[in-house]
Each structure stands twice: as structure tokens, then as C-alpha cells.
Amino acid sequence: MAEKRRPQDGRIKIRKPDNQEVELRLATLPTAFGEEMVLRIFDPDVLLKSYEQLGFSREDRERWNGISGRPHGIVLVTAPTGSGKITTLYSTLKQLATPELNVCTIEDPIEMVEPAFNQMQLQTNIDLTLAAGVRPRLRQDPDIIMIGEIRDMATAEMAVQAALMGHLVLSTLHTNDAPSTITRLMELGIPPYPIRATVLGIMAQRLTRNLCPHCKMVCEPDEHAWKTLTQPWRAPLPKKF
């Protein structure tokens, strides 16, 4: 890259040894000691998973299917950055997508190309913002609209308008918990009544640590060790131990 004086974003596609394509998202920033670069890995196998692979319990799946299966309204996934919000939305859209439904997305950027969705990439250089992208989408006979993120008042207003017009809207917000999402929408300028009339449900999620599949070992804890590990939940010692 010849330009080193200003922040830049870009993407690179590479192939793994098994010939599968993986996308790298780059972000550079000029600093006093040179350019700082961060790479994010976007693996299609990671972005599109079943609810079971995402770690949803049976009760969670039933509740989530009940919310996301409604014909109109707003469904929100909230979490800090890097907590898998878009992964959850992609998996949800994949479950909902059928040949009879027009599933549309408005993203910045498009995280994964999926033939079952009608995906639109934002272009800020021509003022095609999230809010500006929702408006023409409403004229394309959509059944389900996924907005990558509700960032400002204009986008929030368009999401509410789309829901009131009879569309199902899925989106994300950056909040720490589900109740804070309502507060955030009100801070963006949405009155309480439209929130109550359109928001079907909010899911706050976090990533959990997984053991390394290559170096994990079987361990049979005794009763004392088990109580120490599970004290906050008071889970009983499994019978197999």
C-alpha cells in the first residue's frame, strides 16, 4: 500500500490448504512509530452455523424461533464488538430463508456472500448509508430485512418504519445487556410507543471459551473440585463421575 498517511480499510481473499476460501479484513492506522495493522479472519464455516453449533439450548432455540418466526416487527441481537452478533443473524436468516421469501440485507461490509439473500453493500462515498439503503429496500417487496447495525437515529427510524409497514427487521446494537437496548433506542430518539409496538425481542449474547480440540484432555473431577468450579450455579455432580 502506497498511502501510509491516513487510516484505510480493505480485504484480502486467501485459500487454505484444503482449497477453501477465507477472507481477511484489514484496517490500518498511522502511528508515531509506523503503521498499525489489524487483521480479522472471516471463515464462511464459522459465519454460518446451526443453532446447536452456536450453543443454543433447546429452550433458547424454541424462544428464538418463536421471536424470529413472526411476520413483522424488530428482532435485535446486542453484545460488545466481536461477540458473534452477525454470525447469529446469518444463521437465523439461513433458517428463515425459503424460495418464497425475499430476504434482504443491508451491510457495511458484507461479511459473507450468500445466494439465498439479496445483499446490498453500503457506499458512503456516494451517500449510500444504512438509513438511505433501507428506504429503497422497502420498495423491493422484502419479507425480511437484516440491517447490519443500528448506529444512528435515521437508521433506527427506518427500522421502526419498516416494521410498522409489515416487515420483519433483524439488526444489532452495541450494548452490554438486553435492557440497555431499550435505553439506547430512546437515546437515539425513538419514542417509547413505537419501541413497544415493534420490538419483538432482544437477545444479549457473549462468546464462551472452548477447549482446544488438539490439546484438551479428559478429566474426572472429584466432588470438591466440581463444587469449586460450579459454585455460582450449584450444579450437581454428574452421575458418570
pLDDT tens, residue order, the chain (241 aa): 677 788 888 888 888 888 888 888 889 999 998 899 999 887 776 667 889 888 898 999 999 999 999 999 999 999 988 888 989 999 999 999 999 999 999 988 888 888 889 999 888 778 788 878 888 888 889 999 999 999 999 999 999 999 999 999 999 999 999 999 999 999 999 999 999 999 999 999 998 888 888 899 888 878 888 888 787 777 777 765 4
Statement to judge: residues 29 and 55 lie in one domain: no
What is the count of structural domains for the chain? 2
Task: Answer whether residue 222 is part of any domain.
Answer: no
**135 and 52 part of one domain:** yes
If asked whether residues 37 and 131 sit together in one domain, one would say: no
The answer on 169 and 85 residing in a single domain is yes
Domain carrying residue 146: 47-204
For residue 122, is it within any domain?
yes
Residues 27 and 139 grouped into a single domain = no
Cβ burial, residue 88 (10 Å; 0-12/13-18/19+): buried
Q: Whole-prediction pTM value? A: 0.81
Cβ(76)–Cβ(171) below 8 Å: yes
Element (H, E) at 92: helix 85-96
Residue 232 lies in a domain: no
218: in domain: no
Cα–Cα nearest to 12, from 27, 25, 28? 25
- Taken in order 82, 98, 146, 131, the sign of the CA dihedral is positive
In a domain, 225, yes or no: no
Asked if 79 and 114 sit in the same domain, the reply is yes
Judgement on whether residues 21 and 68 belong to the same structural domain of the protein: no
72 and 175 together in one domain: yes
